[in-house]
Amino acid sequence: MAIHETAIVSSEAQIHPTVTIGPFAIVEDDVEVSEGTRVAAHAVLKNGLRVGARVAIHEGAVLGGTPQDLKFSGAASRAIVGDDCVIREFATIHRSAMPGGETRVGRSCFLMAYGHVAHDCVIGDSVIIASYVALAGHVEVGDGAFISGGAAIHQHSKVGELSMVGGGSKVNLDVPPFVIVDGVPATAVGLNKVGLRRHGVSDEDILALKLAYRTLFREKRARLDALEIIGAMKNARALRLAEFVTQSKRGVCRARVR
């Protein structure tokens, strides 16, 4: 274990011997850090934080901070960061506001500088959250989603897997999987074809999703009729899109008016 002499690390924290901790970093009592993780200068790891293996925590990041929730009672809770994540400068992740609850960031996520993940968020695997993104409390983000810089996501909203949120967008409804949304308020502008191909989605599935997107967002059909047509495609990813829309409690982002 390599801990800089100026770092303040609680003797009660559980730190794997292969962890490195830089100058002036602070690690509080109830913290666990797994093998190969690097904690840079001035980072702060607060009570209730659990950090996976091979995580890169950059300068000034604050992980496990007290939730910004007026109803928070001070009860014990957790923030969990999965293996192989990158947390850049001054990013913040707050622990749950619920007694015994969890804020969770999955594996291989990239949280860029000044990004904020609020209490009780659930972030999937391989998610990219760009600089100055603000995720309010209880937001859910699916695997492989990309949230561009400066976007703001309303509390309790869901961002579907392999979707993309454009820079500076205001998201106050759910973002369907596989779709690009953009603007204030965010509206659906197309299928995330680049992201789908980067994640190895087949041409057959992309074609089915194109048809499903057109049916749902471009053709002037009643929502139930559109979902029935998508269901008849019997393509797993198209069915997932229909399922997400059907189960959305907030409602999904609407199509941009041409």
Domain C-terminal end among 138, 163, 187 = 138
DSSP element (H, E) containing 244: helix 236-247
Per the annotation, the verdict on 137 as an active-site residue is yes
Q: Report yes or no on 163 lying in a domain.
A: no
| 111 token code pair | 């949280």
Per the annotation, the verdict on 225 as an active-site residue is no
Cα Rg of the chain (Å, integer): 20
Q: Is the pLDDT of residue 21 over 80?
A: yes
Q: Report yes or no on 55 lying in a domain.
A: yes
Per the annotation, the verdict on 58 as an active-site residue is no
**pLDDT value of position 112:** 98
Question: Which position among 94, 119, 138, 154 bears the catalytic label?
Answer: 119
pLDDT digits (tens, 9 = 90+) for 106-156: 999 999 999 999 999 999 999 999 999 999 999 999 999 999 999 999 999
* Helical pair 236-247 and 223-231, crossing angle rounded to 10 deg: 150
Q: Report yes or no on 153 lying in a domain.
A: no
Domain count, the chain: 2
Q: Same domain for 24 and 119?
A: yes
CATH of the domain at 116: 2.160.10.10
Mean pLDDT of the chain: 97
Question: Which position among 106, 137, 142, 144 bears the catalytic label?
Answer: 137
Q: Report yes or no on 6 lying in a domain.
A: yes
pLDDT digits (tens, 9 = 90+) for 33-91: 999 999 999 999 999 999 999 999 999 999 999 999 999 999 999 999 999 999 999 99
Question: Which position among 52, 64, 101, 120 bears the catalytic label?
Answer: 120
Burial zone of 183 (CB within 10 Å; 0-12 exposed, 13-18 middle, 19+ buried): middle
Q: Same domain for 30 and 132?
A: yes
Domain C-terminal end among 121, 138, 155 = 138
d(CA 165, CA 227): 23
Query: What is the rounded average pLDDT of the residues 186-207?
Result: 97
Q: Same domain for 114 and 13?
A: yes
Count of CB atoms situated within 10 Å of the CB of 1: 11
pLDDT digits (tens, 9 = 90+) for 203-226: 999 999 999 999 999 998 898 999
d(CA 58, CA 56): 6
Q: Same domain for 98 and 217?
A: no
Q: Is the pLDDT of residue 257 over 80?
A: no
Q: Same domain for 133 and 8?
A: yes
Q: pTM of the predicted model, to two decimals?
A: 0.95
Q: Is the pLDDT of residue 258 over 70?
A: no
**pLDDT value of position 256:** 83
d(CA 37, CA 85): 9
Q: Report yes or no on 144 lying in a domain.
A: no
Q: Same domain for 126 and 227?
A: no
Query: What is the rounded average pLDDT of the residues 5-19?
Result: 98
Q: Same domain for 127 and 57?
A: yes
pLDDT tier at 94, thresholds 50, 70, 90: very high
**Nearest of 24, 28, 68, 62 to residue 48 by alpha carbon:** 28
- Residue 242 belongs to what domain range? 197-247
Q: Same domain for 213 and 106?
A: no
Q: Report yes or no on 182 lying in a domain.
A: no
Q: Same domain for 14 and 127?
A: yes
Sheet holding 122-123, edge to edge: 14-15, 31-33, 49-51, 78-81, 102-105, 122-123, 140-141, 158-159
Give residues with Cβ within 8 angstroms of 224, minimum separation 6: none
Q: Same domain for 104 and 230?
A: no
d(CA 181, CA 56): 30
Domain C-terminal end among 138, 155, 185 = 138
Q: Same domain for 128 and 59?
A: yes
